[in-house]
Structure 1
Amino acid sequence: MRRMSRRGFAAAAAVGLSGLVTAGLAVAAELSGGDGGGGGGESDDRGRRDPAGALRGMWVSTVANRDWPSKPGLTAAQQRSELLAHLDTAVKRRLNAVIFQVRPTADALWPSPHEPWAQYLTGVQGKDPGWDPLGTAVEEAHARKLELHAWFNPYRIANHTDPKKLVASHPARTHPEWVVPYGGKLYYNPGLPEVRAFVQDAMLDAVQKYAVDAVHWDDYFYPYPVAGKAFDDDAAYAAHGGKFTDRAAWRRDNIDRLVKETAARIKKIRPGTKFGISPFGVWRNAATDPLGSDTRAGVETYDDLHADTRKWVRENWIDYICPQLYWSAQPLDQDVPANYAVLLPWWAEVARGSGTQLYIGEALYKAGDPAQPAAWQDPAELSKHLTLAKKHPEVRGHVFFAAKEVKVDRIGAMARVVADHYQGLARTPRPF
């Protein structure tokens, strides 16, 4: 996700987005009054109280050793110690859920019969690290009264295009017909039914083995568009396109099938385990679709990633949606393609009456980053987000990207959130 930082790849998608968002200046003016800060704050205690059972989460990203482990090749004891430290940080920050990336690039952070051990553990793909990170994470998170959401990336294979760099037994090498190189990376082809079945089997092996509280996906479905490049699924479309005369509609149907089938299989394998998705924050711009948000984002999940995120919520296919609203809520100008204060009520309206819980993905990684606009140099920016969210009862929690920033807290933005909004001890998120 937008990471080259986490969302390290999706952030790249946001680079260069431009345009003007027409948006709630009244809301922005209200927020600029600083009512989320400690010191002033809301005099009514009800406004400061976290909703009963609201989710307070953080992502722990493992791709490219973003959050954990700090580098490949640590001993099993060192890796375990670092992982437990992240769980302890979550408790210290009064959180109640950790979203742990366990399948970053068509690999595994548990002993999987389908895919190799992730190279981010030992530095060598397929090498046994000598312990079970996912099993340990589930056990230790639950011991701390934290939920453990297992985070999977369905289709990303590698952040390069050379299959020979993959371990010889990798399914992408034994089934080269499944693979599409695109934009400097390798992906499984979502248009192949056999791929859809395989990635489900690979992910759900973890659900079968461990008492994970949720299956979690982020924003990668079809890859983010790369200028001048085409995703080569011609053969798959010819073989499986069937009635679809519009390839984009066929691609969306492929992702819809993955979502629906996975949801059904989770309920069959481990009833009570939730299924949540954290998409890029813009479904469609209003200029594209009157049902869309009043934004000018250069990426729209419906059209570019072929992910109809709004439909999944309205049809109640998933248990929760956690859109990545990685924009500030400050007054708008021509340089911002979207705005937190615009997208928050849009998503609240989408979730209203659907039965799908709404959590909000928060860009803690931007707080204090000197490369970010002035709004992100304000330690109170994220606290203001949570203050705004309290006006929308559909919002049932927030998730912070990511663990490294939750710990380091560059300018005290996370501490401000805790002081202003997480005064009480975290309770287990309310059952679905």
Structure 2
Amino acid sequence: MGTEMAATSPALAQPLSRRSVLSAGVVAVVAAALGPGLAPAPAAAAVIRNRVYTISARNTFGSVTTPRTEFRALWTASVVNIDWPSKPGLPVATQQGELRSILDLALSRNLNAVLLQVRPAADRMWKATLGEPWSKYLTGTQGKDPGYDPLAYAIAQAHQRGLALHAWINPFRVSMDSSLNSLVASHPARLNPGWSFAYGGRRYYNPGIPAVRTYIRSVVVDLVKRYDVDGVHFDDYFYPYPVAGSSIPDTATYAAYQGPYTAIASWRRNNINVFVRDTYNAIKAAKRRVVFGIGPFGIWANRSSSTLGSATSGLEGFYALYADTRRWIKDGWVDYIAPQLYWYQGYSPANYNVLVDWWAKQVAGTNVKLYIGEAAYKVGDPATAAWRDPNELRDHLRKSRTVAAVRGHAYYNTTAFRANKLNAIGILKAAHYARPALPVPYPQLIATRPYTPVITKAVREDAGVRLSWTSSSAGEALKHIAIWRWESTGSVVPYIQSTATYLRTVRRRTAAAQSWLDTAVVPGHYYWYMIQSISQTGVDSSRATAIFIRA
């Protein structure tokens, strides 16, 4: 049996009045400068142990090493079974076990999001009301019901772990081969054979056909309305990557729909622009809190092609893929952009450091968040000395964290991230992910602050201290409970934490009372615990509750 360390009543869970703060001797200026529990207090200023404090004052200092909020994601690819499922036709229990293992991997590395590919090629991994078939990467047979709802399962399991789940969709790829006859008879591409074209040995929906764009958008909206996804994510495939000696077969489409455009390249870019803009607006109309992000090719344009471009000399998304990613940022058609900067520092055609700085300038003055796509799959590449350096990825974050506009990273792919070649991921975690991080806030979507959770008790058990609390949703979209804990003399009432230095865990909020067992305390030592609630758009409660105890 444990010993109850603290209990609270409504009277004790109120904000400190000016009188009580002064009588407690809270030295605000010193506390803000030195951090929680470090400022000396007058002799008469003892913090009351076992009392629950409600706190509204906040620290203002930040931390490059342990930022309070940061996007940390895994790209989990399902196309040709790259990451999940490991092969088609696995039993349901095995598929689900593999998925849980991926989520546990993310959690063990202190990541907070998974970008799960649920529409790899005009197919689906969820129970849809529209005509696209079940993905063959689940069962081995396109259109065959896998016996459960993979997306619903993934969302539930991710949220249990306090992870965000973004539905990763490839918008225009129809199949990994070029034949319409390889698709099930009920496939929309077979029912509408003029909607797609073969190119480079694969088949793609034609972005120049308005009905195609409308259809794909309807698939996205249907998903958003019926599933509790945290985001919708598009990858880098818009018009297909160029294939030497081949031309995109859309001249007839251009003739039919060119409108005012006298150049087919400009017309193609407009098709993608309209698609991105209308998809963004449709998602917000369906469920405003769901974020929309794109992970484009890492170079928009080279400076040799455009004065607005980067000091690079690689393939250009603007000209080769007809993806005007810079405009999507400037016009606010995405909530975040995650360019795939899959090159090493110092690589002259596409220097990682140069591109981080270029993308940071593009999001400046906008609400668009910048996350950097990282090439975990290149670690250990025997052909490249830089990728044989186990510190390359670590140093990527060392660079990007000095750039204020960079708010996080995503890693491709999950299999490589798990393999941890050269212990590069272990080194990365030790240097940069030693603590969890809260989700990046999107107050421009829904800015309402959630209610403050209230600590109810802290109980000493054999294994540690069990912290309990209650939280009221009152109809709000409350998502997480964030818990900080640090050792202290208890000389001052702390501020709300502005870093993750002492952040211990981020828990999924439930309707019932909740608790967490902290097994890392030292018996007889004194600690502050502090908790806040976080909304589904990453906005935190205006206040926190805290308790000072002896473990």
So what's the TM-score if we normalise by structure 2?
A: 0.68
What CA deviation, in whole Å up to 9, does each residue of 1:346-365 have, x standing for no partner? 00111111110000000011
Q: Which amino acid aligns with 1:254?
A: N
SS of residue paired to 1:411: helix
Inter-partner Cα distance in structure 2 for 1:283 and 1:268 = 29
Q: Which amino acid aligns with 2:208?
A: G
TM-superposed CA distance for 1:139, in Å, is 1.0
**Partner residue in 1 for 2:236:** 219
**Partner residue in 1 for 2:226:** 209
Q: Which amino acid aligns with 1:292?
A: G
**Does residue 53 in structure 1 map to residue 69 in structure 2?**
yes
8 Å contact kept, 1:48–1:420: no
**Does residue 395 in structure 1 map to residue 416 in structure 2?**
no
1:131 maps to which of 122, 145, 148: 148
SS of residue paired to 1:416: helix
**Partner residue in 1 for 2:380:** 368
Alignment of 1:282-361 (within 5 A): 282-297=299-314, 299-329=315-345, 331-332=346-347, 336-361=348-373
Identity %: 48
**Does residue 75 in structure 1 map to residue 72 in structure 2?**
no
8 Å contact kept, 1:145–1:428: no
Inter-partner Cα distance in structure 2 for 1:266 and 1:48 = 33
**Does residue 116 in structure 1 map to residue 128 in structure 2?**
no
Inter-partner Cα distance in structure 2 for 1:342 and 1:291 = 14
Unaligned runs of 5+ in 2: 1-60, 444-551
Inter-partner Cα distance in structure 1 for 2:249 and 2:68 = 48
TM-superposed CA distance for 1:255, in Å, is 0.4
**Partner residue in 2 for 1:22:** none
SS of residue paired to 2:421: coil
Q: Which amino acid aligns with 1:240?
A: Y
TM-superposed CA distance for 1:235, in Å, is 1.5
1:85 maps to which of 74, 81, 101: 101
Inter-partner Cα distance in structure 1 for 2:389 and 2:144 = 44
SS of residue paired to 1:216: strand
Inter-partner Cα distance in structure 1 for 2:235 and 2:418 = 22
Inter-partner Cα distance in structure 2 for 1:200 and 1:223 = 19
* Greater relative contact order (CA < 8 Å, ≥ 6 in sequence): 1
Q: Which amino acid aligns with 1:421?
A: H
Q: Which amino acid aligns with 2:362?
A: V
TM-superposed CA distance for 1:92, in Å, is 0.3
**Partner residue in 1 for 2:423:** 412
Closer, same or farther in 2 for the Cα pair 1:46/1:420, shift >3 Å?
farther
**Partner residue in 2 for 1:41:** none
Alignment of 1:172-211 (within 5 A): 172-211=189-228
Q: Which is higher, the Rg of structure 1 or of structure 2?
A: 2
Inter-partner Cα distance in structure 1 for 2:389 and 2:132 = 43
Q: Which amino acid aligns with 1:411?
A: L
SS of residue paired to 2:197: strand
Inter-partner Cα distance in structure 1 for 2:200 and 2:103 = 35
TM-superposed CA distance for 1:368, in Å, is 1.1
Inter-partner Cα distance in structure 2 for 1:80 and 1:281 = 33
Inter-partner Cα distance in structure 2 for 1:244 and 1:52 = 47
SS of residue paired to 1:406: helix
Unaligned runs of 5+ in 1: 1-44
Q: Which amino acid aligns with 2:165?
A: L
**Partner residue in 2 for 1:24:** none
**Partner residue in 2 for 1:266:** 283
- Structure 1 segments (4+ residues) deviating >3 Å: 45-48
Give 1 or 2: higher helix fraction. Answer: 1
**Partner residue in 1 for 2:449:** none
Inter-partner Cα distance in structure 2 for 1:244 and 1:134 = 40
What CA deviation, in whole Å up to 9, does each residue of 1:77-107 have, x standing for no partner? 1100100100000000100000000000000
Give 1 or 2: higher strand fraction. Answer: 2
What CA deviation, in whole Å up to 9, does each residue of 1:128-187 have, x standing for no partner? 000111011111111100010100011000111111111111111110000110010000
**Partner residue in 2 for 1:6:** none
What CA deviation, in whole Å up to 9, does each residue of 1:382-419 have, x standing for no partner? 01000101111000000011111221212111111110
Inter-partner Cα distance in structure 2 for 1:266 and 1:139 = 21
Q: Which amino acid aligns with 1:284?
A: A
Inter-partner Cα distance in structure 1 for 2:436 and 2:328 = 32
So what's the TM-score if we normalise by structure 1?
A: 0.87
Q: Which amino acid aligns with 1:306?
A: Y
8 Å contact kept, 1:296–1:338: yes
Q: Kindly tell me the number of residue pairs found equivalent between the two proteins.
A: 382
8 Å contact kept, 2:197–2:203: yes
What CA deviation, in whole Å up to 9, does each residue of 1:304-333 have, x standing for no partner? 11110011111111100000000001x34x
**Partner residue in 2 for 1:40:** none
